[in-house]
A and B are shown apart, each in its own frame.
Chain A
Amino acid sequence: PPETSAAVLARTRRGPAPVTDVAKLCVCDLLVAQCDVNCCCDPDCSAADFSLFTTCSVPVVTGDSHLCSQKAAIYSLDVEANPPERVFKLIDQVNPSIFCIHATNYEQALTFSSPEIPTSENFDQLLKQFGSGAFSAEPERWDMNADDQNLSDANETYRYQYGVPVQTVDAFLRLPSPVVSSWCSDGNPAGFLVNQATKCIRSVSVEKCNDIQAVSMLFYINSSILAVPKSSQMVNISVQSIVIQSLNGMRTLLNDSDVLRLPMILDGLCINVVLRVSYHITYTDAGEIIEAAAAFVLGAINKEALSIEQSFEISFTQVNTTPVPLSGNPGYVVGLPVRAGFRPQGYPFPVEIMSAALLLNTNKYSQLTILQSTASQDCLAAQGARAPVLFGYNMISGCKLRITAALKCQPLAQALLDLLKGQSFPEYVASFGNSQAQDVLDWVPITHLYISEQRIYNTFQSSCQIPVSLEIEVKWTKYGSLVNPQARIVNVTATITTTTLKQLPSGRERTILITSSVVFTDVSSPAEPGYKAWPTINAKLPFDFFFPFV
């Protein structure tokens, strides 16, 4: 009959009825229709099963222990009897405390409330109450807090903070990026001060060349950026440069970047398709964006192309500063090049040094370099290939020098020194990854050591010494807090080992090995715990304590 099935449906929707009779409650009865081991309250166990138990896992089942008098079911095993049998007692347990609950007039006091089963009537209300990530017992208060937040924000002046999406007139400045797969998703906003570079694949075809918005320049410079969030001050995105890339990969920089080049079909190709966009945003230290520029690389696609790879980049520069490539902030990051520079020429030392800034090579990978081993392994044919010294990476390189009788010593020594040290060997190394060139005291001078391989028993013999190895030892220490130690360079020593070049008889040849190496040594001293001083007891009697007598 339909009513009973509806009743059954209603009952199942409500959930099972709670069991409150202690005689029927059994928490160790986990297996249905089977006897659980050592579960004395299990109704599926027979007397034969009970005789095999060793102990009762659940000795007593009671209700709420706060109540003054409550029923308790006590299960125990009588091991004296043969065979052992289970003893079940139902007693009234009395709570001796005077704070026991005698009665309550509030039904939900001592039981867990069963949650509301969602139906079509109460679904919206339940969703409003429990649908968010966190909910409290009083949903009204949650709404009130949101209103308060809006009011307080209205009076505050806005500014961009790190990570906040850069807002434009429509929505956000988009940096298409791959999400889950490599296909481009246009919903990724660019975060303020977050330098990002992304690459993704977009499906295109020559027929839909004009329809796909994301391959047109206009899509990227159309909406202006808001200088400050939620304001009406707008900053137009200017086109910094346009590079045209032909089908075979050749790139040409266009002279006039004012003309907007939109995709169009020409000779069966779709040209002016955006392949790469680089945004450069200039900001002030007040969190305002004052300038935005975009550099494009436009390419062409032919009929066979089904997809193109687009790459996007965004970088932020503070106004009135030149972007200095940092090797860490403040401590050096392993893998980034060690920064080094020179004292400017013509400055007499030592007084003027404190006010003079150091000169650095603009290419951060060329500031401190060592010889790079080549395939030919011939020193004199080395062609000047240098490898940058990266922080934390010990490196060794070398080459073989063929000495013949015809080689003159002095020019050879000079050539080898140039080979080992490079064209511009720096004088100072930055102690921190973000040391500025103006702060000369933040820079560590390179100490030079000259060691001769031979033992000095014939010092008076003016033989010729040629350098055979350059070893740069960089001593660094951990600086700062224990949880976030920063790497700091404290000492750089460049050791040049020389050896005597013995004159060879003509026709004979010798090969010597020229090496150069960089070693990073951690000289951090172990951290010392700092303890607060013991509190001193400052007990002094008032000066008139012994009044009548003193």
Chain B
Amino acid sequence: SSSQMSSVLLQLLFYINGIYLIFYCLATLALLLYKSQAFSYPEDLLSVDLTLFVVTAIAEVLRLCLGVRGNLTEEESLLGLSLVMTVGSTFLAVYFIVWQTYVLKTDIILNTVLLVLYGMESILKVSTIAAF
């Protein structure tokens, strides 16, 4: 009905992001394992990368939950918080592309897809907040 202001497209993006997140976590973890075995990866650098990966995963889950809740309950504050968290997640994705110890082609592909999703979600979030 027309009184509904929640964005169906945003919900769709959140759904795709959720599925992609699972794939992303498994792939990045497997890739970290491969890198630690195939190349010389000193323990301190490996622990930094692993910690940031865990932080990314948790932040993503939180961000998606906030976004879904904000979109469905048509709350601007929750959606705004999710937008702010998207900025943080973008930095983390950029870290994985540029400042990681070993940047493989697979890393670039995975994180670029994530960045594309963030970009599309941010635009839709802004327009949805404006609509509320």
Contact = CB atoms under 8 A, between A and B. Distances in A.
Interface of A: 66, 68, 97-106, 108-109
21 contacts: A66-B39, A68-B105, A98-B105, A98-B109, A99-B34, A99-B105, A99-B106, A100-B105, A101-B102, A101-B104, A102-B104, A102-B105, A102-B108, A103-B98, A105-B99, A105-B100, A106-B42, A106-B45, A106-B101, A109-B39, A109-B101
Contacts of B107: 102
Which of B34, B99, B100 gathers the greatest number of chain A CB atoms within 10 Å?
A: B100
Interface in B91-132: 98-109
Which of A66, A98, A102 gathers the greatest number of chain B CB atoms within 10 Å?
A: A102
Contact of A98 (B39, B40, B104): B104
A339 B87 CA distance: 94
Contact of B102 (A97, A98, A108, A109): A109
B40 A101 contact: no
Contacts of A104: 101-103
Given A97-B105, A105-B99, A109-B102, 15 more contacts: A98-B104, A99-B104, A99-B106, A101-B39, A101-B102, A101-B104, A102-B105, A102-B108, A104-B103, A105-B100, A105-B103, A106-B45, A106-B101, A108-B40, A109-B40
A100 B104 CA distance: 5
A305 to B, nearest CB: 68
A102 B103 contact: yes
Contact of A101 (B45, B98, B103): B103
Interface of B: 34, 39-40, 42, 45, 98-109
Contacts of A66: 39
Contacts of A99: 34, 104-106
Nearest to B45: A106
Contacts of B108: 102
Contacts of B40: 108-109
A283 B92 CA distance: 73
Contacts of A68: 105
Contacts of A98: 104-106, 109
A100 B107 CA distance: 10
A176 B101 CA distance: 62
B32 to A, nearest CB: 12
Contacts of A101: 39, 102-104
A125 B106 CA distance: 42
